Amino acid sequence: MALAVVVTVLAGFGFFFAIGASSIYSPWWVHLHAASMMTWVALFLTQTFLVYRGNVTAHRTLGPIAAGWSAWIVVLGFVITAMDVRTHRVPPFFQPNYFLMMDWLNMVAFGGLVLAAVRLRNRAPDWHKRLMLGAMLNLISVAWGRLTLPFIFDERGIWLVMAILLVGYFGVAMLYDKRTRGAVHPAYFWGAGALVGWVSVSFAIAWTPPVLALTKSLGG
């Protein structure tokens, strides 16, 4: 599943670069965000590989760095999204108000799942690894958005992205649990529920007066 995440990220962002939607001439904060996100993906893959190889000691040693980096990702996500709205760099298939809420709520879901996973790392490793995977699957919605929305050109395409993640990623993980453990681990329902939650709430509140006023204040 970690390899599937990496392939998804490379495909999504590589596609955007190939069609000219991303450029090396982007502002510095865009490059900072890209480098930070790719570092997080590398950390996730490394941590998964260490456990797969049975090197739990190295995994735990690297853990505080990964936890700190996840916090950096959340803070940076809030700031970069606001800067994109302020500088009118919102992708054309999004309304600025929806883009703001979508990204911010995605960061809340990601941060909440990671925080829960970190707190449970010692007493419930079965929860820890599944919550971390759930957090990562919520995060790669941005990669799938790049693979689908240029063709749909409508922010409601996020519902399709959600369906792809629920069936193609969470569904596969749940099926594996069912076949190997006899039951689906409840951590997956938290991860999938977080995905459904932020997608639904972003549509529910994006056009409310407070959000519209905030977007207008950011965008000038």
pLDDT in tens, 122-159: 999 999 999 999 999 999 999 999 889 888 888 999 99
Q: How far apart are CA 142 and CA 40, in angstroms?
A: 14
Are the CB atoms for 87 and 116 separated by under 8 Å?
no
Are the CB atoms for 183 and 48 separated by under 8 Å?
no
CA atoms within 13 A on the CB side of 199: 22
Residue 91, amino acid: P
Q: Express as a percent the part of the chain with pLDDT over 90.
A: 80
Residue 94, amino acid: F
pLDDT recorded at residue 153: 84
pLDDT recorded at residue 192: 98
Any long-range contacts for 213-220 (C-beta under 8 Å, 24+ apart)? 214/100, 215/85, 215/96, 215/97, 215/100, 218/82, 218/85, 218/86, 218/96, 218/100, 219/85, 219/86, 219/88, 219/96, 220/86
The predicted-structure confidence for 68-108, as pLDDT tens digits, reads as follows: 999 999 999 999 999 999 999 898 889 999 999 999 999 99
pLDDT recorded at residue 22: 65
Q: How many CB atoms lie within 10 A of CB 74?
A: 18
Are the CB atoms for 5 and 135 separated by under 8 Å?
no
pTM metric for this prediction: 0.93
Looking up tokens 């970690």, which residue turns up? 2
